[in-house]
Amino acid sequence: MIPTSGSYRLTNIRLHRSLTPGLAATFNSDGFALVDMSVADGKISSISAHGKPNVAGDAIDLAGRIVLPCFVDCHTHIDKGHIWPRKPNPDGTFMGALNATGADRTARWSAEDVARRMDFSLRSAYAHGTRAVRTHLDSVPPQEEISWPVFEAVRERWRGRIDLQAACLLGIEGVRDKAWFERLAKRVAGAKGVLGVVTYMVPDLEELLDQVFAQAIKRGLDLDFHADETDDVAAISLKKIAEASLWNGFEGNILVGHCCSLARQPDLEVFDTLDKVAKAGLAVVSLPMCNLYLQDRRNNNTTPRWRGVTLLHEMKERGIKVAVASDNTRDPFYAYGDLDMLEVYRMATRILHFDHPVGDWPKAVAVTPAEVMRLDGAGTLAAGGGADFIVFKGRSWTELLSRPESDRIVVRDGRAIERQLPDYAELDELMV
């Protein structure tokens, strides 16, 4: 339906207000406007209200179908992805996930194993319409020596199709070994990566955070934390990160993931934390599918009674940048998933109530994570910008979010791509 080359004009398509900055059009109560969009030389040459005359190319009438910019997935773990068949989570708990993954990493994560699973993940993400991915890389010794070179090679292979970023991942106690952490930060900087740690309530948290910020400032790195992935109300490391950012005068971007415990804390505590997060300019990403899976799982005889996600509405209300992302895929932290950001958005709509009104929530899978990842122009559709978009069947939110949209059309640089999901059987030999 979409030409594979040349210039063309898509007429009668629906674009969303939150993802088309400055577009002069009439938007309905769902936030959609009917427009015509011209594409030439891999770029969007014009967007105008539907029905206005336009000269360039052949017109293709899409009968009101929704078109969204390609997705940006700012929090994944493609180094862990797809190990489930050989290392499942024995009981679905967070500790079960941590222990199973650690054992698998020690035993199995050779460069080839990591590279092949990463490539599999990226092929899925690309086919689903994602254009940029940030992954965390387990960086506890000796894995950092294996996974960072693999990441650099994979990023190079995928250049032009997926912008791949990486952040190191280690428990905050790992920072206590100053010499080793300094070497890691240098390695991360050498790979143009992001400095990341997992924070929880250790007695010397503030001191360790200061070391993390000192390394980031010294090397000009952005920061990416996993914080408070627990229901423990005493877990306030999000607040500690905000305070550390303020007293260190940090000027880079900071993304904080999870922040589950915040949803369990009393309002006064929550408001104090959110004020500091807003003041420090932190961005927060929620991982709704993973949180739903791992949080409030006590034993086999109980039903979960909370959703596990953090307070995105209250954050957005305060002007804090908020995103949602995939997190884990088919590994002990999450048994399912395929790096499909439409699935993430669909699940977020249900779990986090991204509706009534939808408002500008679509930014959470597009322009907001693009800003956090410093990807200029990604996550929006505008004249002069790249023609990287997804054409869906749905003509409204209720149509778009009710079906998997497996037959969506993904357009990159103006051309419809071959959407081939990799076959699971490809990984069989790594799973024995």
Residues with a catalytic annotation lie at: 229
Q: How far apart are CA 408 and CA 33, in angstroms?
A: 20
Asked if the peptide bond before residue 142 counts as cis, ω within 30 degrees of 0, the response is yes
DSSP run (H or E) holding 282: none
Residues 36-95 that bind Zn ion (CB under 5 A): none
Least distance in Å: CB of 226 to Zn ion?
A: 5
Pair 164, 133: CB distance under 8 Å: yes
Q: Report the first-to-last Cα separation within the chain, whole angstroms.
A: 42
- Smallest CA-to-CA distance from 131 within 188, 73, 87, 89 is with 73
Q: Which residues, in sequence order, are bridge partners of residue 256?
A: 225, 284
Closest residue to bound Zn ion by CB: 327
Both tokens of residue 238?
């999000």
Sign of the Cα torsion 122, 123, 128, 131 reads positive
Q: How far apart are CA 407 and CA 405, in angstroms?
A: 5
Beta-carbon count within 10 A of 399 CB: 15
User: Under rule CB under 5 A, how many of the chain's residues touch Zn ion?
Assistant: 1
Q: How far apart are CA 200 and CA 256, in angstroms?
A: 13
Stretch binding Zn ion (CB under 5 A), from 200-208, 247-255, 325-333, 395-403: 325-333
Stretch binding Zn ion (CB under 5 A), from 320-328, 360-368, 386-394, 399-407: 320-328
Per DSSP, which regions of 116-253 are E strands? 130-138, 163-169, 195-199, 223-227
Least distance in Å: CB of 13 to Zn ion?
A: 34
Using CB atoms within 10 Å of the CB of residue 233, give its burial: 0 to 12 exposed, 13 to 18 middle, 19+ buried: middle
Least distance in Å: CB of 389 to Zn ion?
A: 27
Using CB atoms within 10 Å of the CB of residue 57, give its burial: 0 to 12 exposed, 13 to 18 middle, 19+ buried: middle
Judged by beta carbon, residue 67 or residue 227, the one nearer Zn ion is 227
Judged by beta carbon, residue 196 or residue 414, the one nearer Zn ion is 196
Judged by beta carbon, residue 11 or residue 286, the one nearer Zn ion is 286
Least distance in Å: CB of 138 to Zn ion?
A: 11
Judged by beta carbon, residue 229 or residue 243, the one nearer Zn ion is 229
Least distance in Å: CB of 379 to Zn ion?
A: 21
Reduce the DSSP state of residue 174 to 3 states and report it.
Answer: helix
Stretch binding Zn ion (CB under 5 A), from 17-25, 123-131, 145-153, 327-335: 327-335
Least distance in Å: CB of 177 to Zn ion?
A: 23
Stretch binding Zn ion (CB under 5 A), from 183-191, 296-304, 321-329, 337-345: 321-329
Both tokens of residue 118?
């990463």
Judged by beta carbon, residue 228 or residue 327, the one nearer Zn ion is 327
Least distance in Å: CB of 81 to Zn ion?
A: 12
Stretch binding Zn ion (CB under 5 A), from 22-30, 141-149, 323-331, 355-363: 323-331
Judged by beta carbon, residue 68 or residue 198, the one nearer Zn ion is 198
Pair 227, 194: CB distance under 8 Å: no
Judged by beta carbon, residue 8 or residue 345, the one nearer Zn ion is 345
Chain residues in the site for Zn ion (CB under 5 A): 327
